[in-house]
Amino acid sequence: MLTLWQDFRYGLRSLRRSPGFALLVVFIFALGIGAATVIWSVVDGVVLRPFPFPEPGRLVGVGSAYPRLDRGLGFFENLSAPEITDIAEQSRSLQGVVAWDMGQRQVTVGETTENLFSAFWWGNAFPTLGVEPILGRGFTADEIAQGAPVAILSHRVWQTRFGADPDLVSGVVRINGDPYTLVGVMPPRALIYGTDLWIPMGVGMEVMPRKRRQFQLIARVVPGVSLAEVNEELSVIAGRTAQEHGAELPEYEGWILEAMSWTDINVRQVKPAAFVLLVAVGFMLLLVAANAASLLLTRMSGRRREIAVRTALGAGRGRLLRQLLTESLVLATLGGAMGTALSYLGVHAVAAAIDSVGLPLPGDVSVSGSMLLFAGLVTLGIGLLVGIVPAWQTSRPEVRETLGSEGHGSVGSRVRSRWQRVFVGAEVALALVLLAGGGLLVRSFLKLQAVEPGFAAEDVLTMRLTLAQERYDSTRIGPFFEELVRRVEALPGVASASTATQFPPRSFSQREIVVEGLESAVEGTLPVAFATIASPDYFETLGIPLRRGRTFDERDREGAPLVVVIDETVARRYFADRNPVGKRLRVGASEELPWFEIVGVVGATHNRGLDVEPQSEIYAPLGQFSGASNQHFLLVRSAGVDPHTLLPSIREAVRSLDPEQPVYAIQTIEEAYASGAAPRRVATTLLSLFGAFALMLAAVGIYGVVAYTVGHRTREIGLRLALGARRGEVRRLMVRQAMVPVALGGVLGLVGALALGRALSGLLFEVGGYDPLALIGSVAVLAAIAFLASYLPARRGSNLDPVAALREEGGG
């Protein structure tokens, strides 16, 4: 212990003698470890373990896809009660199948009333989820069977809105006015689609028809059964259902049931990006280690004499090894400490960023115990790794040889410089992988930026208004929004204002549509379109071009004939060359539904993001559907001013109508597009940063090697110059020698870059994983930097005065 302390103090002292070197190594450690821990804790908190449910791989939901409806795999409001019953009864690979429905409930505790998004459970969810309430208890079998008035709160709502009051549990609350007993509070993060209140359903499944797909299920995979086996069984069940009910429900043709872990269901959008980042961060840590090792090696070589003296004085090899390792560990510890501090800042920043872009992520991002442990292990690991090779190399000098001749191309020095070249090669390889990955993502991102959204997306500010049900019955909703639009349009700086229930790129509400005369399916799929309720100026506000007919106006009110505007995608698909104006369509399959007359055709928009082709969309006028939703988005186009500057006056207009009405989700349409691309952008930015960092590290490494070579070959250089070699030749020689490991590393890096490109392909947009431009670009950048990093010290070497050089070395 005492010697360890001595080593530590000695290490600190010797580092103080070369503060520049120590700072550089600590800085590299700190950046590497900081970046690694930030990424790790984000990926861990958000992607790997967002939920506290045990054995998360066995907890699965069942999604469905309907090729006939052109509808991809969905896990939200995707199953009907009979479908859930089919699965529960027929599946042998799933156990503990429970299902739930969701809706709003008003919860009153004392004076406080909260509108809570709630889950209504069929079956006992707790054994399936594998968690129990942290306070109180779960539902009893009797309560579930009878639909007893009992409720459980989420942890976050209990904390933030009900003051974390433990006395609430087993007390009485009112839910939609009825008394319920609050029996428990869920553990933190035990969230099911963000529902904050759980209630037993209390009604059997048998009352709900097969067509009503408003439920979802969750279950445990039977131990020992693989997900693939579950899915095989589910496809058999799906086929059986299609056979039995395909006649009445054509969407069953070819439909797919697929189980996925609950974690994956919730994080599948960001998982590829997260995986790539983890790989990149692993590479970067290797790079940090290689670089630090290279730097340490350079430094150790300058201390050969000191070591030789200590050996001569009787220091054992083990003692020396420990001493040198301790020094590396001191550096790693300092770097680790600084890196941990950095990661606190980083995690904070990332958490805020995730919050602001509103990624649909359930997890908490916070500095966790696992992250600190990870940082500690990484630090220690790198410290040992980095220490071992140089320490090993340096602790076995042939004492007499070293004392006699300070490193004139001795065997030891040659071994050292070989190791340095290995490290440089590794750095170059890793840097190229990261650079090429970053290059691919940047290229893909630029391509995405070049996609036109189909309307004038700039200068439009959007915000969401949800009218409280207690204060606005459905008849008052339309007049509120119509008056709001009138007042906002009168504001200075406003070019146009309107409302809509959804807008690009965030359209989410799709309905089946039936075109008159085309009741039977077209193109093998049943028609589905986004159905948006919009006020008359919507198309003008967004700059969506009118192609045929008209948009909405004052005529389109309650009692007037029902009208609809379709977009070009619908027009092309169902009317081809014919003029759709004057034709009719129905929203929904039921024949009892009214026909809408198509009065206009507008341009298609990228209503699901720039990376998705425009999807069919139809529009209905607010005047005829004014009560159909209590939530509308207010869209305001500014006239020559930054749309954000309009916000205070818009807020004032809202207040003048209703002082208590809040506005939410304020962003411009451009920002909405940007946040839709957020996972992609985060991956692009981080990988580019890593690439730049890697490039810098590689440059430092190459520079170090060449500078070292120059320093230790001064005599040789002097000799060459004295013998008549031209300075340019000497320079070329040294650069050429430095470029050998760069080239070898480059080849290795290319192989790695191709592999990474393949892993990235899911994140790429219109760019292949083997994009030659990105590869060639990265190679060119790396080659240029490598050349510069070797040329600068080489030039210094070749500018030596040969006489002085020979004299100086000779005197050593």
Using CB under 8 A as the criterion, which residues of the chain lie in contact with another protein when the complex forms?
76-77, 81, 101-105, 115, 117, 120, 147-149, 176-178, 193-196, 201-205, 207-209, 212, 214, 358, 360, 464, 466, 468-469, 473-475, 501-502, 508-509, 511-512, 531, 533, 558, 562, 587-590, 592-594, 620, 624-625, 627-631, 662-665
Q: Report the nearest approach of another protein to the CB of residue 70 (Å).
A: 18
In angstroms, the CA 631 to CA 503 distance is 13
Reported as half-sphere exposure (CB side, CA atoms, 13 A), residue 612 has a value of: 15
* Closer Cβ to another protein, 171 or 204, answer by number: 204
* Closer Cβ to another protein, 130 or 362, answer by number: 362
* Closer Cβ to another protein, 57 or 662, answer by number: 662
Q: Report the nearest approach of another protein to the CB of residue 230 (Å).
A: 23
Q: What is the dihedral of CA 718, 719, 723, 724, to 10 degrees?
A: -30
* Closer Cβ to another protein, 362 or 603, answer by number: 362
* Closer Cβ to another protein, 29 or 530, answer by number: 530
Q: What kind and span of H or E run contains 73?
A: strand 71-74
- Residue 379 corresponds to which amino acid? T
Query: For residues 535 and 622, is the Cβ–Cβ distance under 8 A?
Result: yes
C-alpha pair distances (Å), 558 with each of 475, 539, 594, 774: 11, 21, 14, 57
* Closer Cβ to another protein, 115 or 649, answer by number: 115
Q: Report the nearest approach of another protein to the CB of residue 104 (Å).
A: 6
In angstroms, the CA 241 to CA 218 distance is 20
Count, residues in the chain: 812
Query: For residues 461 and 503, is the Cβ–Cβ distance under 8 A?
Result: no
Q: Report the nearest approach of another protein to the CB of residue 707 (Å).
A: 54
Question: Three-state SS for 102?
Answer: strand
Q: Mapped to the 3 state alphabet, what secondary structure does 175-237 carry?
A: ECCEEEEEEEECCCCCCCCCCCEEEECCCCHHHCCCCCCCEEEEEEECCCCCHHHHHHHHHHH
- What is the radius of gyration, based on Cα positions, of the chain? 34
170 token code pair = 């087993």
* Closer Cβ to another protein, 76 or 770, answer by number: 76
Q: Report the nearest approach of another protein to the CB of residue 600 (Å).
A: 18
* Closer Cβ to another protein, 469 or 579, answer by number: 469
Q: Report the nearest approach of another protein to the CB of residue 115 (Å).
A: 5
- Residue 1 corresponds to which amino acid? M
Cis peptide before 505 (omega within 30 of 0): yes
Q: Report the nearest approach of another protein to the CB of residue 464 (Å).
A: 6
Q: Report the nearest approach of another protein to the CB of residue 201 (Å).
A: 6
In angstroms, the CA 497 to CA 535 distance is 9
C-alpha pair distances (Å), 765 with each of 450, 486, 569, 601, 612: 11, 41, 22, 29, 10
Query: For residues 382 and 332, is the Cβ–Cβ distance under 8 A?
Result: yes
* Closer Cβ to another protein, 146 or 656, answer by number: 146
Query: For residues 340 and 33, is the Cβ–Cβ distance under 8 A?
Result: yes
Q: Report the nearest approach of another protein to the CB of residue 546 (Å).
A: 23
Q: Report the nearest approach of another protein to the CB of residue 672 (Å).
A: 13
* Closer Cβ to another protein, 531 or 763, answer by number: 531
